[in-house]
A and B are shown apart, each in its own frame.
Chain A
């Protein structure tokens, strides 16, 4: 069905660009486009899922953060309460220590580094303050940095969760008010009467590893315990601050950021490198992954506005779901190829069918023309045959030698003409498969003899020798004698034409049990192997030395083949270039109906 022979191919070449490849490519492009679109949509879906999961997680982190800081505030409030509850806001060092240790900070509030109390001391009372502390419970108490300032806020008590507690000891006596960042927060806390969180600042402990890694929450304590009504009063009545230091490292606890599919960063305010406060351990890994999704949420904690940035790895989506876009791509591409291929083959098939229909129509038209022309030619040719025949057969009186010669030549030429016309008609009908055999039983030996007799002249002219081998007795066959005669004539004529002068032609007739076998051998130019398929083809003449000198329509053998085929027989041949050719005609002796 899809055999592409040379004729179809050249026809195809013209049609192919627009007719086949065009639509195929369009279909392919459409399907591929659809595939890509679907794949992208699947990709987006995955991203959306990721984002959703991340946002949920971020919300959780936000809540956690807020509640964590809320608990810190509670601690400070408790501290403030302690001061408020005691007489004249006097809490001893020991009391503070016991108070703080009851919280079990290390185990319950692991983010908190230290909780302490800093006393607000105006310049005037600084010395007496120092003296009083020294005399009460800390003989080595001193404040720093030295200098005259209107207000000092010196750390009086400090309890840390740090195992290296000595690192914090030195902080006691430190005037936190000298630190810009802390002072700003403290002022705000004092004036508002509310706890305030600082911006990022350096820790109090010595040998701290990171410079800006501490946040402090300050809770103002006023004399009298309760918070005064106005900022002015609040300034006057400020006693000090209860504060908690916590490292930015601990903003999110380890348990919270255990999942290696997530990474978090917390920024102080805007998202830029300078304001980075916290980064979870897996943040770098996760955020550098392909197909990770990042989202952020703003967190308002007390006075601070932070941004939590979350990054989620694609691994949170199940593997099958993740593979979907690629599967869609592959599956779709394959499918597109199949569909396009199918369309292409369909178009090719249709073209082939159309082509063959057109070819058939063309052929039918040709045959009709051929038949018509031949028909019209035949009648006058027959007329010529009769009249020249009259002359030749002596019906118009005896002819001298010269006259006989010319008349014979005219007769022979006309016979050739008639033969050609009949061949043409035969070809035209053979295509339309309109050969009908008139079967009768006759002696084929006689037919062969009479055919050879007629052709003797021509063979003699070519100075070719004719050898005949016939069976002794009559050889009967059931066939169409007229067609067989034509067939024999063609094969013998072929032998004679393609054998040079003084060559030899041999004809043998044999009868085997079921078949009649006629072999015609010539000592002619032979046929090359590559030309074998052309032998029995219509209108084909194999070019060789003699072809140019010989006239012929190229249908003799085609015709012979068709006749033999119609009788249910075969023609075979053997040939050697330069040596000769043998045609073997095999016919069934009897026809089965």
Chain B
């Protein structure tokens, strides 16, 4: 049996974070959750996720800072990253791309189904 893929959800909004967890767990993924960048770094010390769903705007440590610290391209070339953004796109998304992000998704647009589709698509690449 295939190993379920590991997904790390980094999102400071508790409600949303939990909703994503429910959705992905039901789809059979192994889900880890962090509420800010620092927590995420902690978790990644022990876990090598296949995909990270990363919110950019978080307290304590934001998404960009995390990416810089995580050093995606050098240290974790197999990990995919999907970044959450809002319609008010900031240059942060561009920065995130430069730091190795694969896709971005608008939080307000993605229904559970769409989220799952995107996750699967990205994991396939």
Contact = CB atoms under 8 A, between A and B. Distances in A.
B23 A386 contact: yes
Contacts of A380: 15
B47 interface: no
B88 A425 contact: yes
B91 to A, nearest CB: 8
Contacts of B20: 386
B13 A383 contact: yes
A421 B26 CA distance: 30
B113 interface: yes
A426 B90 CA distance: 14
A434 interface: yes
B107 A382 contact: yes
B93 interface: yes
B108 A418 contact: yes
A438 B94 CA distance: 9
B106 A482 contact: yes
B123 interface: no
Contacts of B23: 386, 389-390, 393, 395
Interface in A345-389: 378-383, 385-387, 389
A223 B104 CA distance: 150
A408 to B, nearest CB: 12
Interface residues of B, number: 22
Nearest to A486: B87
B112 A382 contact: no
B19 A383 contact: yes
Interface string B6-45: 0000000101100110110010000000000000000000
A395 B27 CA distance: 9
B107 A395 contact: no
Interface string B81-110: 000001111110100000000000011110
A429 interface: yes
B111 interface: yes
A93 B15 CA distance: 154
A188 interface: no
Given A383-B15, A386-B112, A395 B22 contact: yes
B93 A386 contact: no
B26 A395 contact: yes
A436 interface: yes
A379 B16 CA distance: 8
Contacts of A434: 88
B112 A436 contact: no
B10 to A, nearest CB: 16
A422 interface: yes
B88 A390 contact: no
B110 to A, nearest CB: 8
A101 to B, nearest CB: 129
A434 B106 CA distance: 18
Nearest to A436: B89
Contacts of A382: 13, 16, 107-108
A393 B89 contact: no
Contacts of A425: 87-88
A385 B89 contact: no
B108 A381 contact: yes
A201 B111 CA distance: 133
A482 B87 CA distance: 8
A7 B20 CA distance: 50
Nearest to B114: A389
Nearest to B91: A436
Contacts of B90: 436
Contact of A438 (B13, B89, B107): B89
Contacts of B87: 422, 425-426, 482
A431 to B, nearest CB: 13
B15 A386 contact: yes
Contact of A422 (B13, B22, B89, B108): B108
A393 B16 contact: no
A388 B73 CA distance: 37
Contact of A378 (B22, B108, B113): B108
Contacts of B13: 379, 382-383
A429 B90 CA distance: 12
Interface string A420-444: 0110011001000010101000000
Contact of A386 (B19, B26, B106): B19
B113 A393 contact: yes
B108 A482 contact: no
Nearest to A383: B15
Contacts of B86: 378
A369 to B, nearest CB: 16
Interface in A408-467: 411, 418, 421-422, 425-426, 429, 434, 436, 438
Contacts of A482: 87, 106, 109
A390 B89 contact: no
A393 B26 CA distance: 11
Contacts of B113: 389, 393
A17 B122 CA distance: 69
B85 to A, nearest CB: 9
A395 B108 contact: no
Contact of A390 (B19, B93, B106, B108): B19
A381 B86 CA distance: 13
28 contacts: A378-B108, A379-B13, A379-B16, A382-B13, A382-B16, A382-B107, A382-B108, A383-B16, A383-B19, A385-B108, A385-B111, A386-B15, A386-B23, A386-B111, A386-B112, A389-B19, A389-B113, A390-B19, A392-B111, A395-B22, A418-B108, A421-B108, A422-B87, A422-B108, A425-B88, A436-B89, A482-B87, A482-B109
Given A381-B108, A395-B112, 5 more contacts: A379-B16, A386-B15, A389-B113, A390-B112, A395-B23
Interface of B: 13, 15-16, 19-20, 22-23, 26, 86-91, 93, 106-109, 111-113
The 10 closest A-B pairs by CB, nearest first: A386-B19, A383-B15, A389-B111, A389-B112, A395-B26, A393-B113, A393-B112, A382-B108, A418-B108, A436-B89
